[in-house]
């Protein structure tokens, strides 16, 4: 039941005897200053006798998704989805054989694909994510998540989530935090699977949006996904989305890249006890190692500010016993 509304998660996480006997709420985190920082923060804001106590309605925790809750290499998983869609749709579009960026995909030429730049990638997204009803898109995403596999691990993408972060989400909810995703990814790309995988209700999953239109067709109400961007939930867009969708400043924020910096700054600006957590991709063996010069999930300005302000920087190599849940089987 932990996949349902936060109340359900909390009933579950507070009621389950298994969890009550667990002395360590973060078993996949190595002991150290970063694990201590998390435990100390949660104890402080939930201790009604503490000057740092935060009432339940203000216990808002926001998480980036790509690179923070699941991997984002060698490319954002949503791009793999778009690529698979192009291949699946190609038979209806013979013109794509000679038209970039489609040709690059059909010929497996990732270099040419990347050369098409943001404009090319946006065209891919609009070609594969719009022109259908919201119901149809949900089915398309659900089918892909159930069948597509990551090229390096040969496992479903939804299995490439970070076990230590799943434990952190559950730990926060067990302490009456309301957990949200605030991601640059598409809001309707995440909702069909993220609710089940992370235990975060759909209405607490915030992301980028395209314009949509409500209409009655043959007596049936439907919402059509239009080929036009509505909002990019990245960088300065993240605090704007947090204000619009949540209406409160978070007391906890976790990210992994410069795209999350403004979200962490917004959290920091709340005052009082807050936690800003950066996940640093430092494990080239079990996951990937990248930061300042990466073309995906660049972590440069954010790393400087985190170091300067003493925010928590968790190293995947040093702080995490395991990366993915399947390592524990």
Residues that bind a second copy (CB under 8 A): 1, 3-11, 55-57, 134, 176, 178, 180, 187-188, 191, 195, 201-205, 209, 212-216, 220-223, 236-237, 239-240, 243-248, 262, 265-266, 268-269
User: Shortest distance, CB of residue 58 to a second copy, whole angstroms?
Assistant: 9
Residue closer to a second copy, measured from CB, 5 or 22: 5
Residue closer to a second copy, measured from CB, 29 or 252: 252
User: Shortest distance, CB of residue 208 to a second copy, whole angstroms?
Assistant: 11
User: Shortest distance, CB of residue 182 to a second copy, whole angstroms?
Assistant: 12
Residue closer to a second copy, measured from CB, 142 or 269: 269
User: Edge to edge, what strands does the sheet with 60-63 contain?
Assistant: 220-231, 205-217, 178-186, 60-63, 252-255, 275-280, 312-315
Please spell the DSSP secondary structure of 270-314, one letter per residue. Answer: T-SS-EEEEEE-B-TTTS-B--TT-SSS--SHHHHHHHHHT-EEE
Q: How far is CA 98 from CA 124, 128, 145, 168, 252, in A?
A: 15, 18, 29, 48, 48
User: Shortest distance, CB of residue 206 to a second copy, whole angstroms?
Assistant: 9
Q: Which is nearest to 179 in space by CA: 254, 129, 119, 113? A: 254
Q: How far is CA 54 from CA 50, 57, 113, 244, in A?
A: 9, 8, 48, 22
Alpha helix ranges (H) inside 22-94: 33-46, 77-89
Residue closer to a second copy, measured from CB, 253 or 323: 253
Query: Which helix H or strand E contains 100, and what residues bound it?
Result: none
Instruction: Specify whether the CB–CB gap between 188 and 138 falls below 8 A.
Output: yes
User: Shortest distance, CB of residue 129 to a second copy, whole angstroms?
Assistant: 14
Where in 41-136 does DSSP place strands (E)?
Answer: 60-63
Instruction: Give the C-alpha separation, 303 to 176, whole Å.
Output: 30
User: Shortest distance, CB of residue 10 to a second copy, whole angstroms?
Assistant: 5
Tokens (6 digits) for 70: 């699941």
User: Shortest distance, CB of residue 309 to a second copy, whole angstroms?
Assistant: 11
User: Shortest distance, CB of residue 12 to a second copy, whole angstroms?
Assistant: 11
Residue closer to a second copy, measured from CB, 26 or 181: 181
Instruction: Give the C-alpha separation, 22 to 20, whole Å.
Output: 5
Residue closer to a second copy, measured from CB, 86 or 241: 241
- How far is CA 47 from its chain centroid? 29
Residue closer to a second copy, measured from CB, 10 or 28: 10
Query: Which helix H or strand E contains 18, and what residues bound it?
Result: helix 17-21
- How far is CA 98 from its chain centroid? 35
Residue closer to a second copy, measured from CB, 128 or 208: 208
């Amino acid at each position: 039941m932990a996949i349902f509304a936060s109340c359900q998660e909390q009933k579950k996480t507070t009621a389950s005897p298994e969890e009550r006997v667990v002395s360590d709420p973060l078993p996949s985190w190595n002991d150290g200053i970063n694990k201590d920082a998390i435990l100390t923060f949660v104890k402080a804001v939930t201790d009604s006798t503490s000057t740092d106590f935060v009432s339940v309605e203000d216990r808002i925790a926001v998480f980036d998704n790509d690179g923070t809750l699941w991997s984002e290499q060698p490319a954002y998983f949503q791009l793999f989805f778009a690529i698979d869609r192009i291949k699946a749709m190609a038979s209806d579009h013979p013109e794509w054989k000679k038209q970039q960026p489609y040709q690059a995909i059909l010929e497996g030429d990732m270099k040419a694909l990347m050369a098409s730049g943001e404009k090319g990638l946006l065209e891919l997204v609009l070609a594969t994510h719009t022109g259908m009803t919201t119901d149809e898109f949900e089915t398309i995403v659900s089918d892909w998540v159930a069948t597509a596999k990551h090229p390096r691990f040969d496992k479903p993408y939804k299995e490439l989530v970070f076990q230590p972060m799943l434990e952190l989400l559950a730990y926060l909810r067990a302490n009456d935090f309301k957990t949200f995703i605030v991601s640059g990814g598409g809001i309707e790309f995440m909702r069909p699977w993220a609710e089940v995988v992370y235990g975060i209700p759909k209405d607490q999953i915030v992301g980028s949006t395209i314009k949509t239109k409500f209409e009655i067709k043959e007596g049936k109400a439907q919402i059509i996904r239009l080929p036009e961007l509505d909002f990019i939930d990245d960088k300065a867009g993240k605090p704007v989305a947090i204000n619009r969708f949540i209406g409160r400043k978070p007391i906890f924020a976790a990210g992994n890249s410069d795209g999350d910096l403004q979200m962490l700054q917004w959290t920091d600006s709340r005052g009082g006890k807050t936690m800003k957590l950066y996940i640093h991709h430092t494990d080239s063996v079990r996951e990937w190692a990248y930061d300042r010069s990466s073309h995906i999930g660049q972590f440069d300005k954010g790393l400087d500010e985190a170091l300067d302000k003493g925010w928590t920087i968790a190293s995947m190599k040093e702080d995490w016993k395991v990366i993915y849940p399947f390592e524990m089987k």
